[in-house]
Structure 1
Amino acid sequence: MYSRESIVQDALDELQSISQKFSDLFPDWELNRLRQLLEWGRWFYLWGRKWGDEQDVGWETAVCTVEDTLHRHSLEILFLCLTLKEKLLRVDDSDERWDADSEGWYDVLKNFLWRIIGSVKPGIEELVRIMGTDLTLQTRSSSRTDVKQLLDSVDFILHTFQSLESHTLHETVTFMKNFIRFATLHGLEDRQIIEDLFSHFERVFIQSQVLLFHVCVIQRYLFANSHGELLRKIEPVESRVCEIYVGVLQDVSKFSGSSFHPTKETHALVFRDLVDSLIFLILNLFFRDCIFVDMFHHEMHKVHEGLSFLRTTLSEHHDKLDDLIRPLICEAGILIFHLYQENGEQRGRLIAKLELLFSNFETKPQILKAAEEDAPRFPPTSAYPQTNLLGFIDSVLEKIKSFVIQVSSEKDKFRALHDDLTVLRSFVVHDNGMTIQDLSSRIATVAYDTEFVLDSLVVAGKPLRTSLIVQLDVIITEIELIKTQVSEIPWSMEPTIAVQKISQANLKMALAVGKIPDSNDRVVGLDDEAKIIIDRLTRGTKQLDVVSIVGMAGLGKTSLAKKVYHHSHISHHFQVRSWVTVSQEYNTKSLLIGILSGLDQNSTGEYINMREDDLAERLRKWLKGIRYLMILDDIWDTQVWNSLKMSFPDDDKGSRILLTSRQETIGLEINPHSEPHRLRALNHDESWELFRKKMCFDQSCPSEEVIARAKTIAKSCKGLPLMILIVAGFLANTEPSKWEEVEEMLKTEIIIPSSILNLSDLETLIVYSGGRVLLPDTLWGMKKLRHLEGALEFVLPSEIPVANLENLQTFSTVSFTCSQTMVGVLKKLPNLRTLRCRLDLGGGECTVDFITLNQLESLDITRGRNLFQFRFPQNLKDLYLDSTCLPWSEVSAIGRLPNLEALRLDGNEYEGENWDIEEEGTFPKLRVLELCYIPSLERWTTASDDDFPSIETLILAACNRLKEIPSCIAQSSTLQMIEVLDCPRVYDSVKEIHETQMDYGNEDLRIYLDKEQLTKDQLHAHPTNSPTNIFILAGQSNMAGRGGVHGGVWDGIVLPECRPNPSILRLSANLTWEEARDPLHKDIDVNKTAGVGPGMPFANGVLNKDPSFGTIGLVPCAVGGTNITEWRRGKFLYNQLVNRASAAVKSGGIIRAMLWFQGESDTKIQEDALSYGRNLETFFTNVRADLRLPSLPIIQVAVTSAEGTLIDTIRQAQLGFKLPNVRCIDAKGLQLKSDDLHLTAESEVQVGKMLADAFFQFYSEQSTTP
């Protein structure tokens, strides 16, 4: 006879089963939620039946209430489930589709579940309350624990943790499940110690479920605060609990195979899962304590490797291993449990015992013999044998895949690691040759190291996670070295199975080296840079030319090259293209195979068996007589070019080689006649765009506070794309509340540990940091160090080092604060070729001497505050001076350097207004000259036309007072390009240079004005009365002007303030300047009738206030009836504004301000009104970025009329706007036309005058004459 309890349980099981089936048919959040609530109720009812105080009336009442309610509904439940099962069977048997009536049963089920759950809810909540407060739960049943029910409850908790995305909690409970399975596998159920263990687990599960019920059902947001509390309830840290664990393992270790309890699970699977949990437990403990990590990292790595050996050995079912491995698992588990109880020296002794335990593997020949009977034998790595290396690598590859799926940051790194390890797997062969054995050993080491890092990432805190990610880079580097070693194996070996497999692996490596870059890589910004590179590749000489992109690591050289490679203009211009990645360690044969594979992948198998000389000749024949583009990515020295250049024929077809390198001198050495393209860092807007895309803010819609902090962090990345991607990827898995720590980290100093000396073979050290990096004294002991680079700056130790870094060639960027230290340090770097430094030497004027650096070719100096004199080495080729405050006479003296090829002067602190070069024949080899942001410079003259005889490229930026360019530039026979940005007064001089060069037959001369290349016709088409002061007029109808428009017709009345003036021009729709007159927007706002607007009264008002202001150019862009969202970047109105403004400045004028009058159309919908301020800020920011005017003044008009009712919301956003250099005038109270929407002509005049007043006030506040 059934008891009430069994009837209730049967009813609940049936209801849960049928709910699951319907959930599969009708995936629905509501039904899933109901199923979860039903499962909560079932478990609390079961726990309530077994646990609790029988004397507690409240407890007994709650249990009886739930049971009575469920028993009362049990027949109804069973009948409904039977009906629904019958319906499901009919559908399954007849392939019948669910009709409307059938779907009605789905609604019946949901409504029924809501009713049942609602009826038991009071009793369940009372049980939850009592269980949550009673921490000394006692069992009410004398029966043994139902193991299946216990494991089912664990699965329910695991599922809940998974939905909460709590990996640590999930793994901790998984340990408990695996321990239960391990104990029951050995038939210990009848022992009291097992019952004690199960009772402990049930108490933990009850308390866990109580807390999870509060988190998931009542207040989910509390989970973050409850995480630690919940973990403490589950972890095996109490001494009493550990005694139970130890007791169980001690009993299990005594059993033999004949004592096993029958089970459906394989022994090896249960063993392996427990080993997985032991690995988690020890790493979880290990990475909680940074001191523990530092003290026992080596020992822990060995312990992990030993446990991984067990896990790999158990990957397949080896019955012979059960009795051999069981004692090891038990002994390891006992030591790990004791570790949770100890600290200090005792913990160190336990770690030593664990390491010793696994070091004794080699003394257990039975394990090796049994394991290796069914598996190939490989040479050992470290102290550990490899019973199934291929199987182990496969398990690591699967683990990497899970990281690609689960981890939003560093996906590309995990994918690359997966691909590289897959290639290495193919190197593992069945051969006893020394070369192959050595490779297998190294591959095994890499695989073990990879697994250790992956397992550690699961439990490590955020600071240590960053360190572990760096270890992945080390592993990837080691894989590259192994691949290089494989490529150097003698190819004359007999075609054995081993060589055939290695050949296949090398084929994969060659394809990877020569792999065409992915066109879908996220590239932000760099449009202007790409345009310049594309122009250099497709224009100019017909001879073969080498173009180089240079810049520090992480700046985006490869991304720019990819953008160029996939550009449609490039793919159409060149007949063939190929890409090869060189890197610091390379093999010429692999590079040749990679290039040829990019040209013809079908023949790659043939290339593998060819000699290097034959490959070089094959490539030369392939490229003979065609126009080709070869990209050599990441070149570290010129040797690789010397080994490849004979394969690149020059047939006067306009072929090009594009190379990327961190070292500028490499590009100059390979092609002294082609100036390297120095890649700039991303500006703030581009940095934010890349950061925003990486964080997927478009989908997540973060708060304004999060956006503000994110922008600050993005700015701290110093415009380095790689650093932005790393930081954004890290933040994607970090709560916004913790972002402040990251922000502070980017600002603070990094201290490189003295232990870096242990990396004795290190040749390149690159540090990404938003703050300063403190270098240790021990750095000077790293004899092989060649390249030392930092994103911001290195700070030297206070004591001058004794040793020399004789091999150091690159040092960037170092901060010198003491002249004595600087002199001492430079003497220790005799072979330095590239130096980037900041000088904050203090004191008065002093001479800075670089004369001892005889090998120095590239020097980049940023000053602190003091006036310096410099002495430069004669071998210097590239010099960059930023804000050095030198007098122009000192700059002229630089012209005596016999080998100087590139000079860049940047900053606004050069002494004097005139650069008069008095000596003849100066700058004899200078090919590139850049003068940037020197507003004080007015005159630049030379002694004769013999100065700058080798000039090829002249770049002028933001030298807006400079009047002309010396005539010697026009006389140059080597001139190739002039680029002018924001230097309006030199336009006529540029025009004269162009005319002179045309007379000399230099038709290839390129002229860029404000980033746009001008043709010969364009240079001579600009009117002489082009404006010098440009204003953008944008917004909607009240900016376009509706004054004087009645019935769709303008009355033609021109008010005095709107009269034409020869000094006021207008940019027409076809981008030509003409005398301005109303309606200004007649050919722009074409769907409506334009009349009087604020543009003409504004321009006349400016000239009335300052008649000497110069010619004004108005750029109409307003269109009536437009919402702010229609002005988003990429939409027609936005693109039209940017294009027209860009065209306006080509004549040499300067954009002085943008006048903005808009918002009436955003007053109709609440969502538009509430988001107006944010949208407006985005619009202003984007316009400034795309016009490359980060401080562009913007004057907006607060609306006085509206199309909807939310005008106050819009006005509040406009009047309270906080973006720098934005002013707002208020049009409220001005007279409207009869439509109560548009301003009258007289009111438009008033707005124009107010805008003029605001414009002059804007500049007067900055103490600058407009």
Structure 2
Amino acid sequence: MGGIGKTTLARKVYDDSYIRSRFDKQAWVTISQEYNERQMLLELVSSITGSKQETSDDELMEIVYRGLKGRRFLIVIDDIWSTKDWDQMQRTFPNDDNRSRILLTTRLKYVADYVSCPDFLPHSKSFLSLEDSWNLFTEKLFKKDHCPPLLEKTGKHIVKQCRGLPLSVVVVAGLLGKMDPTHDNWKMVEENLNSFFGTVSERCQSILSLSYNYLPQYLRACFLYVGSFPEDMEINVSKLIWLWISEQFVKARSNKSETHTENVVHLMNGKVLEAIDGQRRVIILSKYEEKYDYFPRHSSGIVRTFISMGLAFPKEMCSIISEFKLIKVLDALLIETDFSSVIPELVHLRYVAARIEEGLSLAKLRNLQTIILQSEGLEQPVDIWSMSEIRHVDIRSPLHISNPVEAEQPLCLLNNLQTLISDLETLHIENIDPMIISGDISLPNLKELRLTNSRIPWEVVNVLANLPNLEELYGDCAFFGTAWKVDEDVVFYKVKYLCLFTCTDLERWELAAGSDNFPMLERLILFQIPKLEEIPESIGEIMTLKSIQIVHCGSGVETSAKKIQEEQESLGNYELQLKITPYVC
């Protein structure tokens, strides 16, 4: 049954560094009730090759087969519902008798029996004992502390009502974690649980509903919005928040105050959205019925949101959407259709993600906050300079943003945004010209910067320290050079997340000011930097550092990361998490 811990157990196996080191290739795919072969193949290709490839299903299958042929692999297939689905899937995987492993999870016994073999019988997860349920409950709620004696009796009654289902225990713990730990609050939850009847699964549904009922009113719409996404779909948190803001469920951050967005992020960091699988299925059916009732047979005037989930749409999709005159959110990036003639006429848009093949004017879109555009070959620049409400810009190569002074010039983005779009918070750009990053760059509200294929010299990277509110810096094939020396006067004051991907030339990384160069760093990710000799030892002295993740780097990086963790533990700091995926030649 759902929520008993199958995926959690599989994830612990899959993430174990020792187990992963025994295999050349690893991949995780989630199937769910509605099997989507193409989505499964895309996930496999992404995991095996490290890149996303849009091609035919047959070619994707061949890429997977060749990528695994002759290699020892570990594949996790999570939440499979049908023996027919397994019959289709197993054709993709070569059988070289080399101790490769395929691990499946399912809630259906006949499926488990069908895919099993005599040497590896299915493992059935059982319900937790009352003692184990209590331990899980207190671990989630109190971490390493003990439950206050005044609450223990009521707490054990609450846990007993969960009937040993881990999902119910986790959700109730998350619910109580949002309340003041008083006897009256716990007693109120206990009384609610006592009123629930039915099977363990039915009681779990009631517990999930209870957690929803305790949400603040303005967060309920955010929660229900998740139901519009397909079951088990990986939802990008940043995208979800921008959609919430565009729907006006929450307000964007202002210079003077922290608003609802932070509370939404806090909600997602809790357990409320972590365990809504069963609840979301119900919402999906309801939402899909609503969508198909109104689209496209009924009046187009009521449509406010259109989000493509990769379904097949008719060729006349553009003309249909053009009738949605009051639409605020258009997420059609997965539809391979030119929307350049439609977008300028939808004057109420707050969020747009679409493909274009011709130049377009955005002058009428005064409310636009998020813009994501993609084109195959259009070289005409996109003019965003008249949009005063813009917050998030993602213009994908080969598109570029026009220079407001000389529109025919190539990308001149960062030099001009300092005065024309001072409220921009998130920026994702590809193939940027390093010359446009100057020492007087000023984007006072920019919090997240993602650079791809920009080849910026490391000495120019230091200029990004001038962004006063930058919290997240991601670079994928973005920087080049053999040495990154961060001078003593270069301080990334608010950077919490530093993610460096595919820096194949980097050999040395020096922090002249030690931990003071990154005083607020919480998470460091280094991916595929094979020549880097070591991580600066002073990284471990950063008081805020919570985790280091090393993927496919050299032995020197792995050794220095382990040394940093050991030194911190010798000082009594056992909170620093280290995860290493070894480099495989």
Pick the structure with greater CA Rg: 1
Point out which structure has higher relative CO (alpha carbons under 8 A, 6+ apart).
2
TM-score range, shorter-chain basis?
A: 0.3 to 0.5
- Give me the TM-score of the superposition, normalised by structure 1: 0.24
Structure showing the higher helix proportion among its residues? 1
